[in-house]
Amino acid sequence: MKYSSVFDIIGPVMIGPSSSHTAGAARIGKAARNLFGKEPKWARIHLYESFAKTYRGHGTDFALAGGLLGFETDDPRMNKALEIAEERNLAIEFIEDSAGVSHPNTARLIIGDDKDRMELVGISIGGGKIEITELNGFELRLSGNHPAILIMHNDRFGAIASVTKILAKYEINIGHMEVNRKDVGKEALMVIEVDQNVDDSVLKELEGADHIEQIAKIVS
């Protein structure tokens, strides 16, 4: 694994006890909330392997809840997140899943409210660092370490060019970009990691680009 700073090695400032099981889990939960665009009303969280075996003792349960509530890893309310979620009428169910996964610290979050639903798979890779590996059936690789824009679009000629043209106009540099589609001419997902947080005004302009259906962002 490549580390860019001492904080990647010692882990982030956080409410303990574990950077992988607590801070990483909180970041997975917060990424799910950011991508959903609002606080969900319910969540079904499948936990696998190490997460499933130790989630109560290592605080993975309250960390995921805290992330869904929008808490940062060092928020003093973190270890009370399950109680706060109940107070906010956010119903959370944890499921110990025995299915095989590629990483022991894996969580599948299915969240929603009365109108919308989203499914996300995240892994905690150590030191509080995470990767998002699946979103609504699309495979991806999103680190969560940089601001990112996720764009659902029709798989049509010009969709990617219309997005990159707008980002270039605002001098927003693309650090990593990938595109995944379910079939030719069908729904597709564009994942763009950038070097700076993107203003909502830019997102609004992106929403009007050719063949764009929905946009979400993750801030750093």
Return the closest-CA partner of residue 39 out of 113, 129, 110, 140: 113
What's the pLDDT tens digit per position in 186-212? 899 999 999 998 999 999 999 998 889
Number of domains in the chain: 2
Does some domain include residue 121?
yes
Q: Can you tell me whether residue 189 is helix, strand or coil?
A: strand
pLDDT for 38 equals: 92
Q: Cβ distance 89 to 41 under 8 Å?
A: yes
pLDDT for 3 equals: 39
pLDDT for 18 equals: 61
What is the rounded CA–CA span in Å between residue 89 and residue 40?
A: 9
What's the pLDDT tens digit per position in 88-129? 999 999 999 999 999 999 999 999 999 999 999 999 998 888
- Identify the domain boundary among 135, 158, 192: 135
In degrees rounded to 5, what are phi and psi of residue 151? -125, 115
DSSP for residue 137: T
Q: What is the mean pLDDT of the chain?
A: 88
pLDDT of 146 strictly over 60: yes
Does some domain include residue 142?
no
Does some domain include residue 140?
no
pTM score over 0.85: no
Does some domain include residue 189?
yes
pLDDT of 1 strictly over 80: no
pLDDT band at 17 (very low <50, low <70, confident <90, very high): low
pLDDT band at 45 (very low <50, low <70, confident <90, very high): very high
Same-domain pairing of 129 and 188: no
Q: In what order do the strands lie in the sheet with 106-112?
A: 91-97, 42-48, 106-112, 117-126, 129-135, 138-142
- Identify the domain boundary among 100, 135, 170: 135
Return the closest-CA partner of residue 220 out of 200, 191, 193, 202: 193
| Residues in CB range of 108: below 8 A, 6 or more apart | 45, 46, 48, 97, 119, 120, 121, 134
Q: Which of 10-14, 77-81, 139-143, 168-172 has the lowest mean pLDDT?
A: 10-14
What's the pLDDT tens digit per position in 58-79? 999 999 999 999 999 889 999 9
Domain that holds residue 182: 148-218
Tokens of 147: 């601001």
What's the pLDDT tens digit per position in 49-60? 999 999 999 999
Same-domain pairing of 211 and 183: yes
Same-domain pairing of 93 and 164: no
Q: What is the sign, positive or negative, of the torsion defined by CA atoms of 204, 208, 212, 214?
A: positive
Q: What are the beta bridge partners of residue 67? A: none
The whole-number average pLDDT for the span 157-171 is: 94
What CATH number is attached to the domain comprising 33?
3.30.1330.90
